[in-house]
Amino acid sequence: MRPARSITLVGDPRGHPPDSPLPRDERDVVWLSLDGFPVGLRPIHPDDKSALIEGFGRLSEQTRYQRFLAPMNSLSSRQIRYLTEIDHVNHFAWVAGTRSEDGAIKGMGVARFVRLAADPDVADFAVVVADDSQDRGVGTLLVHALTAVAHDHGIVRLTALALGENRRMVSILERIGGSFTPESPGVLASQVPLPAPIDLDDETRDALIWVSKIAAHPSGR
């Protein structure tokens, strides 16, 4: 089994005043050291549409299929709105990124949960990591950050569908206590009870939850 990732808080947005001069897309970034590599997490914004389209374009055909469980050549305008215009309570999403050489933040992946209307204690979740950011622990970090927020939001169980051949995702789910049942040929349904065992210390978890609450209630900052 792969050893636990080293995840350390290195940039806490709770120290930024409301009138911080930082650009909006950096004010609520939780900067972490992931095995020594800097990764920032923040809630997705409605104005992330262009970045989402660009990020989708960087995904390989295989990665798109693993995320959507169907061939997907592009995202419709309706899908883009659905994925970015969210309430951060019943539908929450983290975006992960790192700073490129020119100083801009380069997207690395997205993880989200959507609460089930018929069973509000349960939420479906999904994660995707750009091909050039895979095998670095980004998927693990996103899932762990997502489960922390989901639990704080009152979710007691997460559900996910994954291709049986997607060993990265299956391994992540196994490490946080996920169980599996066959859903359809080649597809597994996973159930993850919360709270899940995750590699986040209390300080990191508290910073992530604080940011998630600000996203849900921006006027309360």
- Say how many domains are in the chain: 1
- Domain boundaries, position 44: 7-220
Residue 127 sits in a domain whose CATH number is 3.40.630.30
Domain membership of residue 203 (yes or no) is yes
pLDDT tens digits along 172-220: 999 999 999 999 999 999 999 999 999 899 999 999 999 999 998 876 5
The verdict on whether omega for the bond into residue 218 sits within 30 degrees of 0, i.e. cis, is no
Alpha-carbon dihedral angle through residues 153, 158, 163, 166, given to the nearest 10 degrees: 60
> Across the strands, what pairs with 95?
42, 110
* Secondary structure element (H or E) that encloses residue 82, with its range: helix 77-84
Residue 3: CB atoms within 10 A of its CB come to 6
CA distance 82 to 39: 25
Q: Which amino acid is at 139?
A: G
Domain membership of residue 211 (yes or no) is yes
pTM of the model: 0.91
Domain membership of residue 180 (yes or no) is yes
Domain membership of residue 1 (yes or no) is no
Mean pLDDT of the chain: 90
Domain membership of residue 191 (yes or no) is yes
pLDDT tens digits along 70-101: 999 999 999 999 999 999 999 999 999 998 87
Domain membership of residue 188 (yes or no) is yes
pLDDT tens digits along 109-155: 999 999 999 999 999 999 999 999 999 999 999 999 999 999 999 99
DSSP string, 32-54: EEETTEEEEEEE--GGGHHHHHH
User: Which of the four pLDDT bands, split at 50, 70 and 90, describes residue 6?
Assistant: confident
Domain membership of residue 2 (yes or no) is no
Give the burial class of 76: count Cβ atoms within 10 A of its Cβ; 0-12 exposed, 13-18 middle, 19 or more buried.
exposed
Domain membership of residue 103 (yes or no) is yes
